[in-house]
Chain A
Amino acid sequence: MQRRSFLAGTAAAAGLATAGCGNLATSDPNTLTFMFRGGLDERAAYTEAIAEFERQNDVTVNVVVTDGDQYDTKLQAAILGQKTPDVFYFDSGKLKAYAINDVLQDMSPYLESAGTAVDELWPLAVDLYRFDGEVQGQGSAIYGLPKDIGPFSFGYNRTMFEEAGLALPDPELPYSWDEFTEICQELTQDRDGDGALDQWGTGLNVTWNLQALVWSNGGDWSDESVTTVTVDTPEFAEALQFFADLQNVHQVTPSIAESQTMDTYQRWMRGQIGFFPVAPWDLSTYRDLDFEWDLIPYPAGSTGSPATWIGSLGIGVSSASRNPEMATRLAAFLSADPGTQELLVDAGIQIPNIRSTALEWAADDSFMPENKAEMIRIVEDYGRPLPGYNTYNAEWYTEFFTNIQPVLDGDQTAAEYCAWVQPRMQTRLDAANRQEQIDRGEFR
C-alpha cells in the first residue's frame, strides 16, 4: 500500500512537473523560441515587434528574456542543455565558436525568401557576421544579422557650456587631449558656493571609454592578426595614463568618494557633468534630460583623428531549429523590416539598421541630439568593433580590466600596469587561439 501510494505520488509529481516546462521546450514547428536581453524599454519594444511578427506569419513566438549581465551564461546553458532557442542574440565574439561547433545556422540560403531585404542594412554590420570557416568577416555564409549597430558616441552638456560662457565645441573637429583637459577644468566648479564641487568636466568609465583614447593615440590591444597582445606600447600606456590623470591629476571628474555617492551616469543626467558618452540605447533615457546636449567626436590623441567603438549584437538562428526558414524570417524581420526598425528607433533604443533610413534619421533636426550625423560618421568612417570580437573568446581582453583599479586610483603608473598585464593577457589569447585550432580540427 505504501509503495503504491509512493508510485502514485511520483506519477503525480512527474505530471505536475511536465506542466512546468519552459518556453524553450517546444517541438511544434509553428512555434519559435526567441531569446534576448534588455532593459524594460527594450523588452516593451521587442514584445510589440514580436506580436506584429506573429500576426503577419501566423506563428507563435515564445520569448525568453534576461537582463544584460546574465544573458551570456543563460544562453550558454540553454545551448549546453540542448535547448538552443530558434532565434537568439549572440555576441559577435562568439560567432566563430558557435559556427565551428555547429550551434549557428548559415542563414544565407533562407534569406532570399525571408521577405525582408537584408541588403539594405549597413554592409559593415552584416559583414561582422560573415564567416568562411577561417576568417570572420569574409565569405557568403551569414551566421547572424545585426540586432543593432551601436556607435558609442560622445556628448556634451550644451546648457552647461552656455552658462559657463564657453565656445561650443566643433561638431566634427575633435579636441586635442590638452584642449579637452583645459575645458574640463573650466567646467569643474563649485556653483552653489558651499565649498564642495558640484559640477565636473567629465566622468568616464574605463571599460567603455579607454578604447577611444587608446586608438586615437595609435595604440591597440593586439596586433592585426590577433596573435600578440600590444598593450605594453608607449602609446597605449600614455592613453591609459591620461585617462587616470583626468581624475588624479587634473581632478576634473568626481572623486572616488563622490562617485560612490552617485555614479557619473546619474550625475550626467542631473546636469552635473560636462562630457559624457552617449550610446544609441541611451537615447530613450536621455530624451527626458532637462538640459540641451549634443554629440561631438571623442578628443583625439597623437594621431589627431577621433576613434571609438561600434557595438553590435547578432541575431542568429539555431542549427537545431525545426523551422530554419521561419526562424530566419524572424531574425530578418527584427533586423531589417522597415516597420520594426521604425518602432525600435522611435522607442529610442537604437539607430536604424537600414542605411537609407539612418541617413534620414540623422538629417531630422526635430529632436535631440542635433549632431546625429556624428553617429553616422562613426559607423561609416572611423568606428571599430571592440577588441576580442573576432577571437575565440574575449577572456584575454577582459583580463586587461580586471586588475586595473590601482591605476585609476593613482597607486600604480599606467606603464607599470601595462607591462605587468601584457603577459597575463598573452597567455589567455594564446589559449583562445589554441582552442580555436583544437575545435576546428574536430570540425573538419
Chain B
Amino acid sequence: MSAVDAPPAGRRFGAGPARPVSGRGPAPARRTGTTSDLHRRERRWAAAFIAPVVLGFVLFAVLPFCFSLYAAFTNWNGLSAPTFTGLENFRLMMADDYFWQALWNTLFLMIGIPIGLSISLVLAMAMNRRMPGRSVFRVIYYLPVVTSLAAISILWQWAFNGDFGLINQGLALIGIDGPNWLQEASTSKPALVLMMVWKGLGFSMLLYLAALQSVPRSLYEAAELDGAGAWGTFRHITFPMLRPVTFFLVVTNIIGGSQVFTEVNIMTPNGGPEFSTATIVWYIWQKGFQNLQLGYATAMSLVLGLLVFVITLIQFRLNARNSFSVE
C-alpha cells in the first residue's frame, strides 16, 4: 500500500536520474579495498549503527526481563534480598480476587476498542467524500488525540461530576437524570470507556481515511460495472482493503489497552468505587510501590507481559492467514 499524499519514496526516486551522491566524494579510482575489506567495513558500520538500539534492548528489556523471571518466584519487599519461594506468588495470584477483578476491569475497558474502531471507520468513510470543510472536520476529530492524557483525565473527571458536570448537563437536556458516573461501581467503567473512545477516535479515523484514499478508484468502477450495491462494494472491496490497517489498529490498541493507568489513577484514585476501575497496571503499581510486595507485583507483571505477547501473537497469526498482503 502506498501513502496518501506522498508518493512512494521508491517511485519518487526512481522517476528521476539517480542523484549523484556527492560531487566531493572520493573518486572511484582511489578505492583499492578488496571485496572482503569492503564487507568488513560494511559490517563494522552496520554494527555501529545498530549498537545503540541493541544496547537499549539488552539494558532495558532483556536485563529487566531476566530479573523479572527470577523475582517473580521470590518473596521480595525491595528492602532486603529476595528469598526464593517457588510458585507461591502465582498461587497467591490465583486466589487473589483483586487480581482477577483488575484483569476483568482491564478487559472491560477494552470494549472501547471495537466501539472506537467502528465509529472511526464510519467517520473516515464520511470524510472520504469530496465535500467542502472536510479538512476542518479532520482537524476537529483529531484534536483530542494530541491533548495530554493527564489534562484530559482531569477535565473528564470534572465533566463526569454528578451535578455540575458537562455530561449530566447534556443528558438533562434530553430529560435523562445522569448518575454520579465515577462514584458508582456500575457506571465508572463505562464512563472511562466513553472518555477513551472520545480521545482515541481521531487517530484510527485518520489511518482509516488514509487507507480508504489509497484504494484504487478502478476497483470501485469495476464493482459498479458489475452492478454491486453499496453494501457489496463495502464488503468485497473496501473492507478487505482496510484489513491491514485494522490489524495494525487492533494490535496497537490492545497493547495500549493492557497498559491503562493514567486515566484511572487520576480520575478514580484508590482503584475507584469498590475497586471497579483498578486496572492490572494500577494494581501492579500499588502492590509494588505501596504494599512492599515487589515479588508478587513482578509475578503479576510477568503474567501481564505474557498475556499481551500471546494476544499479539494470535493477532499476527490470524492476520497472516487472512490478509492478502501487508506490505
**B83 contacts A438, C-beta separation under 8 Å:** yes
**A73 contacts B48, C-beta separation under 8 Å:** no
Instruction: Let me know if B81 is at the binding interface, CB within 8 A.
Output: yes
Instruction: Let me know if A56 is at the binding interface, CB within 8 A.
Output: no
Q: Which of B134-188 contact A (CB under 8 A)?
A: 162-163, 180, 183, 185
Instruction: Let me know if A80 is at the binding interface, CB within 8 A.
Output: yes
Task: Tell me the complex Cα distance, A439–B293, Å.
Answer: 12
Q: Which residues of B contact A101 (CB under 8 A)?
A: 77, 79-80
Contacting B78 at CB < 8 Å: which of A73, A80, A403?
A80
Instruction: Let me know if B75 is at the binding interface, CB within 8 A.
Output: yes
Instruction: Let me know if B233 is at the binding interface, CB within 8 A.
Output: no
Question: How far is the CB of A101 from the nearest CB of chain B, in Å?
Answer: 4
**B81 contacts A442, C-beta separation under 8 Å:** yes
Instruction: Let me know if B291 is at the binding interface, CB within 8 A.
Output: yes
Closest to A103 in B: B79
Question: How far is the CB of B194 from the nearest CB of chain A, in Å?
Answer: 19
Closest to A427 in B: B95
**A76 contacts B274, C-beta separation under 8 Å:** no
**B162 contacts A97, C-beta separation under 8 Å:** no
**B80 contacts A439, C-beta separation under 8 Å:** yes
**A405 contacts B274, C-beta separation under 8 Å:** yes
Instruction: Let me know if B289 is at the binding interface, CB within 8 A.
Output: yes
Q: Count residues on chain A whose CB falls below 8 Å from chain B CBs.
A: 26
Instruction: Let me know if A402 is at the binding interface, CB within 8 A.
Output: yes
Instruction: Let me know if B214 is at the binding interface, CB within 8 A.
Output: no
Q: Which residues of A contact B36 (CB under 8 A)?
A: none
Instruction: Let me know if A72 is at the binding interface, CB within 8 A.
Output: yes
Task: Tell me the complex Cα distance, A369–B274, Å.
Answer: 36
Instruction: Let me know if A261 is at the binding interface, CB within 8 A.
Output: yes
Instruction: Let me know if A395 is at the binding interface, CB within 8 A.
Output: yes
Task: Tell me the complex Cα distance, A395–B275, Å.
Answer: 14
Instruction: Let me know if B126 is at the binding interface, CB within 8 A.
Output: no
Q: Which residues of B contact A427 (CB under 8 A)?
A: 95
Task: Tell me the complex Cα distance, A303–B79, Å.
Answer: 43
Indicate whether A102 sits within 8 Å of B275 (C-beta atoms), given known contacts A80-B289, A260-B180: no
**B270 contacts A69, C-beta separation under 8 Å:** yes
Question: How far is the CB of B74 from the nearest CB of chain A, in Å?
Answer: 11
Question: How far is the CB of A67 from the nearest CB of chain B, in Å?
Answer: 10
Instruction: Let me know if B190 is at the binding interface, CB within 8 A.
Output: no
**A76 contacts B270, C-beta separation under 8 Å:** no
Instruction: Let me know if A435 is at the binding interface, CB within 8 A.
Output: yes
Instruction: Let me know if A3 is at the binding interface, CB within 8 A.
Output: yes
Question: How far is the CB of B66 from the nearest CB of chain A, in Å?
Answer: 19
Q: Which residues of B contact A261 (CB under 8 A)?
A: 162-163
Instruction: Let me know if A79 is at the binding interface, CB within 8 A.
Output: yes
Instruction: Let me know if A393 is at the binding interface, CB within 8 A.
Output: yes
Indicate whether A402 sits within 8 Å of B79 (C-beta atoms), given known contacts A3-B48, A72-B290: no
Closest to B287 in A: A395
15 extra interface residue pairs, beta carbon distance < 8 Å, beyond A72-B290, A261-B162: A69-B270, A73-B285, A76-B289, A80-B289, A80-B294, A97-B77, A97-B79, A97-B292, A102-B80, A260-B183, A393-B291, A402-B275, A403-B274, A405-B274, A438-B75
**A442 contacts B291, C-beta separation under 8 Å:** no
**B79 contacts A73, C-beta separation under 8 Å:** no
A-B contact pairs, 9 of them (CB 8 A): A77-B289, A80-B79, A101-B80, A102-B79, A260-B162, A403-B275, A427-B95, A435-B75, A439-B80
Indicate whether A439 sits within 8 Å of B183 (C-beta atoms), given known contacts A72-B290, A261-B162, A402-B275: no
Task: Tell me the complex Cα distance, A69–B97, Å.
Answer: 23
Question: How far is the CB of A261 from the nearest CB of chain B, in Å?
Answer: 5
Q: Which residues of B contact A439 (CB under 8 A)?
A: 77, 80
Closest to A394 in B: B291
Closest to B179 in A: A260
Instruction: Let me know if B269 is at the binding interface, CB within 8 A.
Output: yes
**B78 contacts A405, C-beta separation under 8 Å:** no
Q: Which of B41-80 contact A (CB under 8 A)?
A: 48, 75, 77-80
Q: Which residues of B contact A402 (CB under 8 A)?
A: 274-275
**A79 contacts B163, C-beta separation under 8 Å:** no
Closest to A395 in B: B291
Closest to A94 in B: B292
Closest to A79 in B: B79
**A442 contacts B83, C-beta separation under 8 Å:** yes
